[in-house]
């Protein structure tokens, strides 16, 4: 029998060594380590599964490596990983079970199945829209062909027996692929034949087209907030930044809502066209206005227009930390205008999906707006994303959405 030989150095398993600060981050249960905290790399190709070592060479766990991102590694296990595709499949099954066992997704056939780090699968997002499942791949390691195959297989095995799967669509974010130095790719079917469908949240119906729209098609993270907003909404309602009508349709159709009229505003015509189609799907006609919400609110408030319910759900104003001051200014202006236009007893539903705007900062800016509007407001509910978007404690990036529901007094 040939004698076992030591592997030549180039076949040694990929590994990275961390600085003390990098180790401290992992000990703090954050899965990311930045490139500046990697002190040594051995045999590490793009997208590698790497052994993570402390400065003395002690094994800390296994991570997914990116050769281009500032986030050089994302931890995937505190132990060894022999087979990444098998681990990914196991984590997908666990994510599905987590939602089922904790009853996180009642009253909907659209929800997030896998939320990246929050489901211990950094770089993978999977959403279900009734019988169409949308997959987003955000890192080099998850983009590897065997991992892709494992994702499709795991989703099929779990969802097909329940008879709820007609298509798995990949939604490609070209900018992210470029940042990750991955070859360009088109969005399209990974399995099955359907890319569009209809889904239902809280009894309200929506169209879904896997190959159109922003994000993965709809804002699933607002699902529970739609129903909460509907409980308090009444009278004349305005949904600024309405996109495809998520809040507006709930304010008009949800059995709890008591709105006499609902107007949706957005600057995107395709979003409004879809909103109109969604309303028709539910047998309703609402008013949709294509406008810059800042200008419209300014104009309406100058003209003394009044509402009983206003929803503000703007896009993330602070995409980076540098944008923070400007973002806070934007939130303040919108909230101030809305507060001025609300009748006593009115409801303000105000959201921020900027991770860089922390919860205390958002509260502060809304409070400053109230001061300038000379109004007293009470917080009826302070909410976050729907429960199928878990927040991983110690990973602030997983907690990005805030939704305040307030009542306005004079």
How many CA atoms lie less than 13 Å away from 96 in the CB half-sphere?
18
Q: Which entry of 242, 259, 351, 353 is annotated as an active-site residue?
A: 353
Between CA 343 and CA 22 the distance in angstroms is 52
Residues at the site binding ligand SAH, with contacts judged by CB under 6 A: 219, 222, 241-244, 246-247, 265-268, 271, 292-294, 313-315
Tokens for 191? 């399995």
Cβ-based nearer residue to ligand SAH, 49 or 369: 369
Cβ-based nearer residue to ligand SAH, 292 or 394: 292
Catalytic annotation on 353?
A: yes
Least spacing, CB of residue 282 vs ligand SAH, in Å: 15
Cβ-based nearer residue to ligand SAH, 204 or 370: 204
Torsion of CA 384, 386, 392, 394, to 10 degrees: 0
Closest residue to ligand SAH using C-beta atoms: 246
Cβ-based nearer residue to ligand SAH, 142 or 328: 328
Least spacing, CB of residue 230 vs ligand SAH, in Å: 12
Cβ-based nearer residue to ligand SAH, 90 or 333: 333
**What φ, ψ does residue 284 adopt, rounded to 5°?**
-125, 155
Least spacing, CB of residue 350 vs ligand SAH, in Å: 11
Between CA 190 and CA 170 the distance in angstroms is 6
Burial class of residue 247 in the structure, from the number of CB atoms within 10 Å of its CB (0-12 exposed, 13-18 middle, 19+ buried)? buried
Cβ-based nearer residue to ligand SAH, 13 or 323: 323
Is there a contact between 158 and 93 (Cβ–Cβ < 8 Å)?
yes
Cα Rg of the chain, angstroms: 23
Strands of the 132-137 sheet, one edge to the other: 110-115, 124-129, 132-137, 167-170, 188-192
Least spacing, CB of residue 251 vs ligand SAH, in Å: 11
218 Cβ contact partners less than 8 Å away, ≥ 6 residues apart: 110, 129, 199, 206, 208, 244, 246
Cβ-based nearer residue to ligand SAH, 50 or 110: 110
Least spacing, CB of residue 134 vs ligand SAH, in Å: 15
Least spacing, CB of residue 56 vs ligand SAH, in Å: 48
* Beta strand residue intervals within 14-123, DSSP E: 15-18, 32-34, 38-42, 49-53, 59-65, 71-77, 110-115
Least spacing, CB of residue 46 vs ligand SAH, in Å: 33
Cβ-based nearer residue to ligand SAH, 47 or 213: 213
Between CA 398 and CA 221 the distance in angstroms is 12
3-state secondary structure of 40: strand
DSSP codes joined into one string, 167-220: EEEEPP-HHHHHHTTPPP---EEEEES--EEEEEETTEEEEEETTSSSTTSS-G
H helical segments located in 237-312: 246-253, 269-281, 293-302
Least spacing, CB of residue 240 vs ligand SAH, in Å: 7
354 Cβ contact partners less than 8 Å away, ≥ 6 residues apart: 316, 317, 318, 319, 327, 400
Between CA 351 and CA 347 the distance in angstroms is 13
Tokens for 116? 């990246």
Between CA 193 and CA 199 the distance in angstroms is 17
- Give the residue numbers annotated as catalytic, written as ranges: 353
């Amino acid at each position: 029998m040939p004698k076992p030989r030591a592997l030549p150095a180039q076949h040694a398993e990929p590994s990275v060594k961390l600085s003390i600060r990098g180790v401290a981050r992992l000990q703090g249960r954050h899965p990311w380590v930045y490139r500046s905290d990697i002190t040594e790399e051995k045999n590490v190709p793009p997208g590698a599964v790497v052994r993570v070592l402390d400065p003395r060479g002690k094994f800390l766990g296994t991570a997914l490596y990116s050769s281009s991102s500032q986030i050089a590694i994302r931890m995937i296990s505190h132990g060894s990983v022999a087979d990444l595709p098998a681990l990914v499949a196991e984590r997908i099954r666990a994510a599905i079970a987590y939602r089922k066992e904790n009853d996180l997704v009642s009253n909907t056939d659209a929800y997030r199945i896998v939320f990246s780090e929050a489901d211990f699968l950094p770089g993978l997002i999977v959403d279900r829209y009734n019988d169409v499942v949308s997959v987003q791949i955000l890192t080099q390691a998850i983009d590897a062909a065997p991992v892709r195959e494992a994702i499709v297989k795991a989703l099929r095995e779990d969802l097909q027996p329940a008879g709820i799967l007609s298509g798995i669509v990949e939604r490609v974010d070209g900018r992210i692929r470029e940042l990750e130095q991955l070859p360009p790719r088109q969005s399209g079917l990974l399995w099955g034949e359907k890319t569009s469908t209809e889904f239902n949240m809280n009894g309200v119906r929506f169209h879904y087209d896997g190959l159109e729209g922003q994000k993965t098609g709809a804002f699933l993270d607002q699902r529970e907030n739609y129903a909460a907003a509907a409980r308090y909404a009444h009278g004349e309602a305005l949904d600024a930044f309405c996109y495809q009508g998520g809040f507006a349709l709930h304010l008009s159709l949800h059995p709890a809502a008591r709105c006499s009229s609902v107007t949706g505003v957005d600057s995107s015509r395709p979003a409004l066209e879809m909103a109109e189609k969604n309303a028709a799907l539910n047998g309703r006609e609402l008013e949709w206005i294509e406008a810059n919400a800042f200008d419209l609110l300014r104009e309406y408030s100058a003209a003394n227009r009044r509402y009983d319910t206003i929803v503000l759900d703007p896009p993330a104003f602070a995409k980076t930390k540098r944008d923070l001051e400007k973002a806070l200014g934007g939130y303040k202006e919108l909230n101030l205008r809305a507060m001025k236009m609300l009748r006593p007893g009115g409801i303000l539903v105000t959201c921020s999906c900027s991770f860089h705007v922390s919860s205390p900062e958002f509260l502060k800016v809304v409070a400053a707006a109230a001061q300038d509007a000379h109004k007293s407001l009470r917080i009826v509910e302070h909410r976050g994303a729907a429960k199928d978007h878990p927040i991983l404690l110690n990973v602030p990036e997983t907690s990005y959405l805030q939704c305040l529901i307030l009542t306005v007094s004079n």
